Structure 1
Amino acid sequence: MSFVSESPIDSAVPQPPISKLAKSALAAILRIFLPVLLALVVGGLILMALGKNPLDYYGYVLDRGLFSWGGFQATLTRMVPLLLMAAGLIIAFRAGIWNLGGDGQFLLAAVITAALAPALIQVMPRSLMIICCIAVSVAVSALWALLPALLKARYGVNEIITSLMMSFLGISFANVLVKLVFRDPSTTVPQTPDLPVEDRLPRLFDTTVHAGILIALVVIVLVHIMMTRTSFGLKLQIVGANPRAAVHAGLNVGWLTVATFALSAGLIGLAGSIEILGVWGTVRADWNPAYGLVVVPLVFLARFHGIGTIGFTLFFAILMIGGESASRRIGVPQHYVLVLVALLLLFLALVEYLDQLWRKRVKD
């Protein structure tokens, strides 16, 4: 006798064969991990052509970026700005908007935070100072993205061009602020006043990892929920999928475009603010970590999935932290990690193209 009753709904709806689900899952895994594997293999071949042992390089990367306690703490710390910037890009890309002005938005927020924090800590508690710095920096970044947003919403101007232009202006303007307006007169090197270590974001469990990692994880999860479980997120995805259909559906595409830019830039500005409050405490002239375009392939590899982005961000942070040590040990340029990023982008595009070509042939 069976004690499990079959639901009429379950029996009425045809279930896909297990083999079909397995093939679909395997294809998804290949689309995600094949570009990573190919990038690592070709990167290793390049190292061999340079007379270096790729196994030594990747071994040092894993040892210093993941397996050593100090390196793992540095990896988690490096994840913070990458995760927050990824959250901002997920919102923009799902809405069909290319916000490529991340570096300018990040740096402006960082400079504003570096200028405000040392002054505010003199007149208010640390927690209130942190909240004020974050709020102002997020607002500044969102306002900096207003021009590309309005040009896109009102006149249909390509946001790739305008956001890149505003990024260049933002980076230059941030340097001007550091060298002239917010410069600390007590230092010979142009930089903003330094925020004391004890007044920065608190460290977790007696480690060097600051509380920004918790903020970043919460933000990326909230963004994922917003984009997949709310009506606002659904509206953004409709606009991204088909703007004309969104207009016919009665959506205010112009307002949604501006809101998308503001949210995306605001989260990128949050990354810049947290980076200063948690790690640096100051901004020196010509400082630019250039995370903006580096985060793009991570978001694409995760297929704009917020939770999936966490894993790829961890992978890239390990490459960045471990790669710095590995480069010194085996004698390759410190920025060799960027070669791996370029290869990753190349193979990501190639795998995507082959996948689309295969789907088209199967359909025909």
Structure 2
Amino acid sequence: MTRVIRFHQHGGPEVLRIEDVAVPPPAQGEVQIRVKALGLNRAEAMLRAGNYIETPTLPSGLGYEAAGIVDRIGEGVQGFAPGDAVSVVPPPTMLRWPAYGEVVNFPARFVVKHPPSLSWEAAAAVWMQYLTAYGALIDIAKLGKGDFVAVTAASSSVGLAAIQIANRVGATPIAVTRTSAKRQALLELGAAHVVASAEEDLAGRLKEIAGPQGVRVVLDPIGGPIFEPLTDAMSHGGILLEYGALSSEPTPFPLFTVLSKALTLRGYLVHEIIGDPTRLAAAKAFILDGLASGALKPVIARTFPFEQIVDAHRFLESNQQFGKIVVTV
């Protein structure tokens, strides 16, 4: 028997329970991992609350990211051995392979030997944030030297990853955050500019920063009214990548701005990178190289012990964090 975290009904963090279950041996092509740390994501809070793109059968496990030690390997698995330090690329569904547990099974294709210099906490905080930012900025938008990129929700784990990736390829990252409270921290992490959207004229400040060139790439998980000032500041032929829906307000379609500037507004989910072996291999290579060189470095907002998963989810939904929330096992 091993401890896992599940929920039997949708609701707030308090519905999460730690339960003892029997974990089967790894199936063919799977790796069994003794977990040392978990990385938390908003998708898990949305699944728990009943607001996610997947509908679970209850009771349900949850969780996309883990790091730990290989315990056993299933039939046909090559390249891994018991004792290896590994981390997990988020699979297509957390319902089939939930990460919140002391021992978990994952397909070998989603298991990675990470740089040994990474702590368990950092290793558990790598893949969702960097794959999401890489897929949008590098794979799709082809962000490069001289580009201006506006990153909203900039203090989130994906936002911070996007700032690091932009710097790595020579682009200019503009961090967009609600208030100026996190301005200095964002600048210290590598943002070239910070715009507080609740305190400043967002479109005006972005235009002032980018000048006649405009902002070619926007990475946004919010939607809602922010769409209009963001597109107003974009360059001709620019691309806005929407990877979330944090705003509870309607998202307007800025028709005339889109037409006059020939803009691309594109929905994006990280699973399109994860589900394509060729694109995933390129992403892994980019990220592992960045981790090894120090150009990419996960920012940990706070760690919680496994027994405090309810408190960890409360903090996840507080919007107070700067970086990734990690749970140690």
Q: Give TM-score scaled by structure 1 length.
A: 0.22
Larger relative contact order (CA 8 Å, sep ≥ 6)? 1
Rg larger in structure: 1
